[in-house]
Amino acid sequence: MEIIHVSAECYPVAKAGGLGDVVGALPKYQCQSGHIAKVVMPMYRTKFLYENEWTVDFKGSANLGNWFFDFTIIKESTNKLGFDLFLVDINGLLDRQKIYGYDDDSERFTAFQIAVVSWMSSWEHQPDVVHCHDHHCGLIPFMMRYCYDFTRLNLVPSVFTIHNAQYQGWMGWDKSRYIPRWDLWKRGMLEWADSINPLASAVKCASKVTTVSHSYMDELRFNSNGLEKLFEYEKGKCLGILNGIDNDVWDPATDKYLTEHFTVTEVTKGKQKNKEALCIQFGLDPEKPLFVFIGRLVGEKAAEILPDAIKSAIYSTKEQASFLILGSGDTAVEWQFQQMVEPYKGIFNAVIGYDETLSHKMYAGADFLLMPSRVEPCGLNQMYAMRYGTVPIVRSTGGLQDTVVDMGDTDGFGIRFNNATIFDVDYSIGRAVAVYQDKDQMQKMRQYMMQIDHSWESTVDEYTKVYESIQ
Residue numbers at the binding site for ligand ADP (CB under 6 A):
17-19, 21, 294-296, 326-328, 354-356, 359, 378-381
Q: Of the two residues 22 and 196, which places its CB atom closer to ligand GLC in the complex?
A: 22
Kindly tell me which residue out of 3, 10, 14, 18 binds ligand GLC, with binding defined by CB under 6 A: 18
* Total Cβ atoms within 10 A of residue 264: 16
* DSSP-assigned letter for residue 170: -
Residues 6+ apart with CB under 8 A from 207: 141, 157, 158, 159, 237, 470
- Minimum Å gap between C-beta 35 and ligand ADP is 24
Decide if 344 contacts 314 (C-beta within 8 A).
yes
- DSSP letter at 343 equals T
Binding flag, residue 374, ligand GLC (CB under 6 A): no
Among the listed residues 164, 359, 382, 397, the single contact to ligand GLC using CB under 6 A: 164
By CB under 6 A, tell whether 414 contacts ligand GLC. Answer: no
Contact 284, 324 (CB under 8 A): yes
Which of 378, 385, 449, 450 binds ligand GLC (CB under 6 A)? It is 378
212, interface contact from ligand ADP, ligand GLC, none, CB < 5-8 Å by kind: ligand GLC
Contact 61, 69 (CB under 8 A): yes
DSSP H or E run through 434: helix 422-436
Q: How far apart are CA 457 and CA 431, in angstroms?
A: 34
Q: Does 212 bind ligand GLC (CB under 6 A)?
A: yes
Q: Which of 380, 386, 415, 433 binds ligand GLC (CB under 6 A)?
A: 380
Nearer to ligand ADP, 378 or 386 (CB): 378
Please state the φ and ψ torsions of residue 41, each to the nearest 5 degrees.
Answer: -150, 170
Cβ nearer to ligand GLC, comparing 216 with 348: 216
Q: Which does 381 bind (CB under 5 to 8 A by kind): ligand GLC, ligand ADP, none?
A: ligand ADP
Using rule CB under 6 A, residue 19 touches ligand GLC: yes
**Residue 243 contacts ligand GLC per CB under 6 A:** yes
| Ranges assigned E (strand) in 134-278 | 158-162, 191-192, 195-196, 208-211, 238-240
Q: Decide which of ligand GLC, ligand ADP, none touches 328; Cβ closer than 5 to 8 Å per partner kind.
A: ligand ADP
Q: Which is nearer to ligand ADP, 90 or 394 (CB)?
A: 394
DSSP one-letter string for 302-333 = TGGGHHHHHHHHHHHTTT--EEEEEEEE-HHH
Residue nearest to ligand GLC (CB): 18
In this complex, which beta carbon is closest to ligand GLC, that of residue 336 or of residue 397? 397
What x-and-dash track marks residues 111-150 binding ligand GLC by CB under 6 A?
----------------------------------------
Query: Residue 377, interface with ligand GLC (CB under 6 A)?
Result: yes
- In angstroms, give the least distance from the CB of 383 to ligand GLC: 9
- Min dist CB 380 to ligand ADP, Å, is 4
Is the four-CA dihedral 2, 109, 222, 373 of positive or negative sign?
A: positive
Q: What is the distance between the alpha carbons of residues 294 and 326, in angstroms, rounded to a whole number?
A: 5
Q: In terms of CB distance, is 18 or 414 closer to ligand GLC?
A: 18
One of 246, 255, 376, 426 touching ligand GLC (CB under 6 A) = 376
The span from the CA of 313 to the CA of 153, in Å, is 57
Contacts 24+ apart (CB under 8 A), 49-54: 49/13, 49/87, 52/76, 52/77, 52/78, 52/80, 53/77, 53/78, 54/87
Report, in Å, the least distance between residue 9 CB and ligand GLC: 9
Decide: is 379 part of the binding site for ligand GLC (CB under 6 A).
Answer: yes
**∠211-468-400 over CA atoms, to 5°?**
20
Find the binder of ligand GLC among 10, 22, 31, 144 (CB under 6 A).
Answer: 22
Quote the least distance from Cβ 361 to ligand GLC, whole Å.
Answer: 21
Spell out the residues 6+ positions from residue 69 whose beta carbon is closer than 8 angstroms to its own. Answer: 61, 62, 63, 90, 91, 93, 111
**How many residues form the binding site for ligand GLC (CB under 6 A)?**
14
Q: Tell me the residue type at 55.
A: T
- With 0-12 / 13-18 / 19 or more C-beta atoms within 10 angstroms meaning exposed / middle / buried, residue 451 is exposed
By the criterion CB under 6 A, which residues form the site for ligand GLC?
17-19, 22, 163-164, 212, 243, 376-380, 399
